[in-house]
């Protein structure tokens, strides 16, 4: 049986980045739970051709590769930093270059980071409708993390870890027959 491939996208162009750290952390939990292959890309991996590209064909190889990985993924982990109450414009531009059919029915675990908790519903009011357009299966539990949830850019709060576990376990239904690896070991 082919091992499913999960792709994480962090919509930040900072390094270090809390968003990338959160997406990588979720990806690790997915990998530990199911044994799936995971790869994470951020906006630095996408590179500068994105900002100048009006059409997908104008992207360079690096950016094309990330879009191909997104389209081919069995599930996505999406993370965006909150900018002015929403996702960053450049991240939206990347998503704008995805064809609608490429995300149809794809399971997507939604995450976001922000400076504080005031915009915690950004995941529900901005990210979820965006992927609703694509008719993707956004998982019911979305994950939002603020500055207080990180220590040196690493996930450091118990309630955040618990929320991540809840969200990841909602992938079970999309991969029937894939026993979580820790259950198989018992
Ligand atoms: C241009 C800009 C706008 C921001 N707007 C918000 C905001 O509206 N609400 C919020 O909670 N944080 C806001 N922030 C803070 C970032 O969302 C927060 O620091 C985020 O975790 C940064 O992610 P990163 O480390 O992955 O780049 C903003 C930051 C920048 C640079």
> What integer pLDDT is reported at residue 177 of this predicted model?
80
CA of 82 to the centre of ligand 1 (A): 5
| The two structure tokens encoding residue 60 | 């360079």
pLDDT at 185: 65
Nearest CA, atom 22, ligand 1: 81
Domain architecture of the chain: domains with CATH: 5-173 (3.40.50.360)
Spell out the per-residue pLDDT of the chain, length 186, in tens.
799 999 999 999 999 999 999 999 999 999 999 999 999 999 999 999 999 999 999 999 999 999 999 999 999 999 999 999 999 999 999 999 999 999 999 999 999 999 999 999 999 999 999 999 999 999 999 999 999 999 999 999 999 999 999 999 999 999 988 867 666 666
pLDDT of residue 178: 80
Please give the pLDDT value at position 184: 64
For the chain, the distance separating the N- and C-terminal CA atoms, rounded to the nearest angstrom, is 22
- Residue 170 CB neighbour total at 10 angstroms: 15
Q: How far is CA 180 from CA 24, 36, 49, 175, in A?
A: 19, 10, 39, 10
Would you mind telling me the total number of residues written for the chain in this entry?
186
Q: Nearest residue CA, atom 28 of ligand 1?
A: 83
Contact 130, 95 (CB under 8 A): yes
> CB neighbours (10 Å) of residue 55?
7
Residue 182 has a pLDDT of: 65
Q: Which atom of ligand 1 is nearest to the CA of 14?
A: 27
Angle at CA of residue 10, ends 9 and 15, nearest 5°: 135
35 C-alpha to ligand 1 centroid (Å): 32
pLDDT of residue 181: 66
**Which residue, by CA, sits nearest to atom 5 of ligand 1?**
83
- The number of beta carbons lying within 10 Å of the beta carbon of residue 107 is 20
From 115, 117, 119, the mutation candidate for ligand 1 (largest count of ligand atoms within 8 A of CB) is 115
- Residues 11 and 83: their CA atoms lie apart, in Å, by 11
Cα-atom radius of gyration of the chain, to the nearest Å?
Answer: 16
Taking the centre of ligand 1 as the mean of its atom positions, its distance from the CA of residue 114, in whole angstroms, is 5
């Amino acid at each position: 049986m082919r091992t499913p491939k999960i792709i994480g996208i962090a919509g930040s162009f900072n390094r270090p980045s809390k968003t990338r750290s959160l997406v990588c952390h979720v990806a690790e939990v997915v990998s530990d739970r199911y044994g799936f292959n995971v790869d994470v890309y951020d906006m630095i991996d996408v590179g500068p051709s994105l900002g100048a590209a009006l059409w997908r064909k104008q992207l360079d190889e690096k950016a094309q590769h990330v879009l191909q990985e997104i389209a081919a993924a069995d599930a996505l982990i999406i993370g965006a930093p909150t900018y002015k109450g929403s996702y960053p414009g450049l991240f939206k531009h990347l998503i704008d270059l995805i064809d609608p059919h490429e995300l149809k029915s794809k399971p997507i675990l939604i995450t976001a980071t922000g400076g504080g908790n005031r915009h915690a519903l950004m995941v529900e009011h901005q990210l979820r409708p965006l992927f609703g357009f694509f008719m993707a299966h956004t998982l019911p539990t979305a994950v939002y993390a603020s500055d207080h949830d990180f220590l040196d850019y690493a996930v450091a709060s118990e309630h955040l870890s618990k929320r991540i576990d809840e969200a990841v376990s909602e992938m079970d239904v999309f991969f029937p027959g894939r026993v979580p690896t820790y259950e198989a070991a018992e």
